[in-house]
Structure 1
Amino acid sequence: MTETPVELVHYAVADDVATITLDSPHNRNALSRRLVTELTAALERAGADDSATVVVVRAAGRVFCSGADLSEAAAGSMEEGALAIVALQRLVLTLPKPVVVRLHGAVRAGGIGLVAAADVVVAADDATFALTEVKLGLAPAAISLTVLPRMTSRAAALTALSGEVFSGAEAASYGLVTTAVPAAELDAELDRVVASLATGAPQGLRETKALLTRDLVEHLDARGPEVAALSARLFGSDEAREAMTAFLSRKR
Structure 2
Amino acid sequence: MVNATFTVENHAAYVTIEREDKLNAVDSETKRAIIDELDAYKTDDAVRAVVLQSAGDKAFSAGGDVKEIPEVDYSLQYFTESWDELFTTMRNLGMPTIAKVDGITLGGGFDLLLRSDFVIAADNAHIGQPEVDLGIVNHFSPPMLLQQVGLRKTFELLMTGETISGAEAADIGLVTRSVPRDQLDEEVDGLVETLVNKSPRIIKKLKDGIYASTNMTPDAAERHLERISLESARNDPDYREGVDAHLNDRDPEWVVE
With normalisation by structure 1, the TM-score equals: 0.79
Q: Is the Cα–Cα contact under 8 Å of residues 17 and 26 in structure 2 kept in the other structure?
A: no
* Unpaired segments ≥5 residues, structure 2: 217-257
Q: Which residue of 1 aligns with 2:140?
A: 142
CA distance in 2, matches of 1:58, 1:156: 25
Q: Is the Cα–Cα contact under 8 Å of residues 110 and 143 in structure 1 kept in the other structure?
A: no
Q: Which residue of 2 aligns with 1:101?
A: 99
CA pair 74-148 structure 1, distance change in 2 beyond 3 A: farther
Q: Is the Cα–Cα contact under 8 Å of residues 86 and 143 in structure 1 kept in the other structure?
A: no
Q: CA deviation at 1:139?
A: 2.5
Aligned length: 213
Q: Is the Cα–Cα contact under 8 Å of residues 125 and 166 in structure 2 kept in the other structure?
A: yes
CA pair 74-142 structure 1, distance change in 2 beyond 3 A: farther
**Higher-RCO chain (CA-CA 8 Å, sequence separation at least 6):** 1
> Are residue 51 (structure 1) and residue 46 (structure 2) matched?
yes
> Are residue 18 (structure 1) and residue 4 (structure 2) matched?
no
SS at the partner of 2:197?
A: coil
Q: Which residue of 2 aligns with 1:180?
A: 178
Counting only pairs closer than 5 Å after superposition, residues 43-82 of structure 1 correspond to structure 2 as: 43-61=38-56, 62-75=58-71, 76=73, 77-82=75-80
SS at the partner of 1:30?
A: coil
Residues 98-141 of structure 1 deviation map (CA, whole Å, 9 limit, x = unaligned): 11111111110121111111110011000111111112222322
Q: Is the Cα–Cα contact under 8 Å of residues 124 and 182 in structure 1 kept in the other structure?
A: yes
Q: CA deviation at 1:200?
A: 1.1
Residues 197-219 of structure 1 deviation map (CA, whole Å, 9 limit, x = unaligned): 1121111011000012225689x
Q: Is the Cα–Cα contact under 8 Å of residues 85 and 143 in structure 1 kept in the other structure?
A: no
Counting only pairs closer than 5 Å after superposition, residues 81-230 of structure 1 correspond to structure 2 as: 81-215=79-213
* Unpaired segments ≥5 residues, structure 1: 219-252
CA distance in 2, matches of 1:33, 1:139: 20
Residues 146-166 of structure 1 deviation map (CA, whole Å, 9 limit, x = unaligned): 334332222111111111111
With normalisation by structure 2, the TM-score equals: 0.78
CA pair 140-11 structure 1, distance change in 2 beyond 3 A: same
Which range is displaced more, 50-59 or 28-37? Answer: 28-37
> Are residue 8 (structure 1) and residue 6 (structure 2) matched?
no
CA RMSD of superposed structures (Å): 1.8
CA distance in 1, matches of 2:23, 2:109: 11
Identity, in percent, stands at 27
Q: Is the Cα–Cα contact under 8 Å of residues 12 and 19 in structure 1 kept in the other structure?
A: yes
Q: Which residue identity is paired with 1:129?
A: I
CA distance in 1, matches of 2:124, 2:50: 24
Rg (Cα) greater in structure:
2
CA distance in 1, matches of 2:87, 2:142: 11
Q: CA deviation at 1:145?
A: 4.0
